[in-house]
Amino acid sequence: MSTAAELEREQARPFFAPQVARHDSILEAMRAVSDCYGYHVRDFFDFAEHNGGVSFEIVKPYYQDLNGRRYANSTKRLMRQAVKARLRATLDGAMDFNAAAAFREALAKLDRQVKAPKVQTAPIGQDKVIRRDEYERLIIAASYRDKLLLSFLWTTGCRVSELTGARPFSRVYVSTRIHKLALAVLGRGLGAHSLRHSFATRQIRRANKVQAVRAYFGHSSTAITMNYYVHERLDDDELFDPEDGE
């Protein structure tokens, strides 16, 4: 039998389903989640506050509104992903198996109704990838603070916004510091995002686990990951192999 305290906790738990009206406590619960989406989910919080709170019905107009904004398409897709991740993290413990399945299907249906904008999937050029020896040269020349920024991004492959969510730096500051350092040391105007590209390139070359890198980076498909980071070509010896018998 449930105790009074357990019943009280159960009643206080935010309930959410496509058919349920908005519930303001969900907004506060979403804010309390600790993840890497702190920067990208803020816009949704502002939208929800101005529209009476969080409900399933508010996600669709948010997607529609977001598609019309002047963000890069890749940023819009990331902001959508941030909303879904926060909703799942907030509500998974409050739903049984059937409700959770219905919730995921409802989100998938929304994605089909309001499609995310397409992103340019041009391969990342080698000039945007930092080799290990280049990274070591940057570390030697960097100040103590810049060493921390570089090592964090190099080791984790995080986005700059994810770094600034964990430390009190602005995105402009981090990007500017790394750009100036790379220009002075390597002679190339690399941005902070190059460390993320470098991380992905290293992991694919080291372990050849494209699917794992896709999941870690949050890409919607392995095709995007491969197009960005897998740069393979056949050389003459492979094209004209005498063992082929042709």
Instruction: Please report which confidence band the pLDDT of residue 228 belongs to, taking 50, 70 and 90 as the band edges.
Output: confident
Q: pLDDT tens across 20-67, in order?
A: 434 557 778 788 887 777 888 889 999 988 887 777 778 889 999 999
Are the C-beta atoms of 138 and 186 separated by less than 8 Å?
yes
pLDDT at 30: 83
| DSSP letter for each residue of 6-20 | HHHHHHHSPP--TTS
pLDDT at 189: 86
Are the C-beta atoms of 136 and 185 separated by less than 8 Å?
no
Are the C-beta atoms of 216 and 177 separated by less than 8 Å?
no
d(C-alpha 133, C-alpha 223), whole Å: 29
Structure tokens at 156: 């984790």
Are the C-beta atoms of 16 and 58 separated by less than 8 Å?
no
Are the C-beta atoms of 195 and 182 separated by less than 8 Å?
no
Cα 234 → chain centroid = 33
pLDDT at 93: 65
> Residue 227: is its pLDDT beyond 90?
no
- What pTM value is reported for the model? 0.53
CA distance between the termini of the chain: 77
Q: pLDDT tens across 97-138, in order?
A: 777 777 778 888 888 888 888 876 667 778 888 999 999 999
